[in-house]
Amino acid sequence: MQITIQKTPTSRLSEVDFDNLAFGRSFADHMLVAEYADGAWKSVQIQPYGPLSYQPAMMSIHYGQAIFEGMKAYRSKKGDVLVFRPEENMKRFNKSALRMCMPEVPEEIFLGGLKQLIQLDNAWVPEKEGCSLYIRPFMFATDEYVGVSPSTTYKFIIFLCPVGSYYSKPLRVRVETEYIRAAKGGVGFAKNAGNYGGSLYPTIEANKAGYDQIIWTDAATHQYVEEAGTMNLMFIINGALVTAPTGDTILDGVTRKSVIQIAKDWGVEVQERLLSVKELVEGISSGAVTEAFGAGTAAVIAPIQTIGFEGKDYELPPRKESDFSAKVFTEISQIRLGEIADTRGWIYKI
Ligand SMILES: *Cc1c(COP(=O)(O)O)cnc(C)c1O
């Protein structure tokens, strides 16, 4: 498929303060825009990042046929641009698409387009340690029609954001037992826009009570822990890595998958199983639970300090350099930057 390139006449690169990058507030010069109609992907174009114009009746804003992905590219010391496991994001994107009755995006557009886009905006990949280029592919329904049915036209877009180092202080999280993120048979495994709109209200409620994030529990009983905000949730219990099994209600995280693989390679026992809130809080009290952390692209590993449940705060032990989560963070950081050998084939070089 031919990708036409329309370059910006005026780069905005010099306007960006690369020493003070906020997450998701600066956008690289170009974006990729692909159009789907009549059952096929038609035009694919790289053009200047900027506003698009749509009809008020555009279906995605009314009925939520909108999905997205998030991944990062890093600048290695040698100057190469390395993307961490983008094939996994592409596969997951197409699973989300299937669930939302949207067309799949072929590899030549998703990965091929991404490659050309980053080649053009190479100068936007930050060099400073800890910084990266956040990549946001997304797709939305564009038919002008007021009726609940799948759209027949779609846009697939990728834009790029240079982002600063994501430092996460150890989190205070609260076990949510009223609201839910996802239910069996629902769309929790898909990265569709509506899932995130629905999570805002309970998260704000938890913030008001002094917590940074929510631990979601299962919709049917609220007895089993599922995810932490928009991260997968992991624990070290009696030396084993414990995390919820993927299914309808769990987002199949690329970071989660990578942490599990590294744990196995290191000989750490991995248990993908249900974990009850009861076992969790008793385990924290008894000392069996030694680490709790979130896993996701933004922070990679976000350590959890405090877990609130039924009005009581349970404190995890202070962090140590020898912790599994600290070591796995270092391992993934070094792979992403090309500082250690990519023995698992996780790096996609631009
Ligand atoms: C994106 C996301 C994650 C993390 O996935 P990664 O591929 O590791 O970034 C976890 N949970 C939810 C709900 C998410 O949306």
* pLDDT per position as a tens digit, 34-54: 999 999 999 999 999 999 999
Give the pLDDT confidence score for residue 169 in this predicted structure: 86
Q: Tell me the mean pLDDT in the region 255-277.
A: 98
Q: Tell me the mean pLDDT in the region 3-30.
A: 94
Residue 130 has pLDDT above 90, yes or no: no
252 CA distance to ligand 1 middle (Å): 7
Give the pLDDT confidence score for residue 47 in this predicted structure: 98
Give the pLDDT confidence score for residue 22 in this predicted structure: 85
Q: Tell me the mean pLDDT in the region 129-141.
A: 95
Confidence of residue 346 (pLDDT cuts 50, 70, 90): very high
Tell me if 251 CB under 6 Å of ligand 1: yes
Domain residue ranges in the chain: 4-163, 171-336
Give the pLDDT confidence score for residue 335 in this predicted structure: 95
The rounded percent of the chain whose pLDDT value lies above 90 is 94
Same fold? 4-163, 171-336:
no
Tell me if 332 CB under 6 Å of ligand 1: no
14 CA distance to ligand 1 middle (Å): 32
Q: Tell me the mean pLDDT in the region 289-309.
A: 96
CATH of 171-336, one of 3.30.70.360, 3.40.50.300, 3.20.10.10, 3.30.160.100: 3.20.10.10
Using most ligand atoms within 8 A of CB, pick from 195, 226, 232, 234 the residue to mutate for ligand 1: 232
What rounded mean pLDDT belongs to the chain?
Answer: 96
Tell me if 230 CB under 6 Å of ligand 1: yes
pTM of the full predicted structure? 0.95
- Provide the 8-state DSSP code for 281: H
180 CA distance to ligand 1 middle (Å): 16
Using most ligand atoms within 8 A of CB, pick from 87, 251, 259 the residue to mutate for ligand 1: 251
Give the tens place of pLDDT for each residue, 189-231: 999 999 999 999 999 999 999 999 999 999 999 999 999 999 9
Task: Pick the residue whose CA is nearest to atom 13 on ligand 1.
Answer: 230
Task: Pick the residue whose CA is nearest to atom 5 on ligand 1.
Answer: 253
Tell me if 253 CB under 6 Å of ligand 1: yes
Residue 168 has pLDDT above 80, yes or no: no
Give the pLDDT confidence score for residue 165 in this predicted structure: 78
Give the pLDDT confidence score for residue 61 in this predicted structure: 96
Tell me if 111 CB under 6 Å of ligand 1: no
Give the pLDDT confidence score for residue 217 in this predicted structure: 98
Tell me if 229 CB under 6 Å of ligand 1: no
Give the pLDDT confidence score for residue 167 in this predicted structure: 67
Give the pLDDT confidence score for residue 23 in this predicted structure: 85
CATH top-level class of 4-163? alpha beta
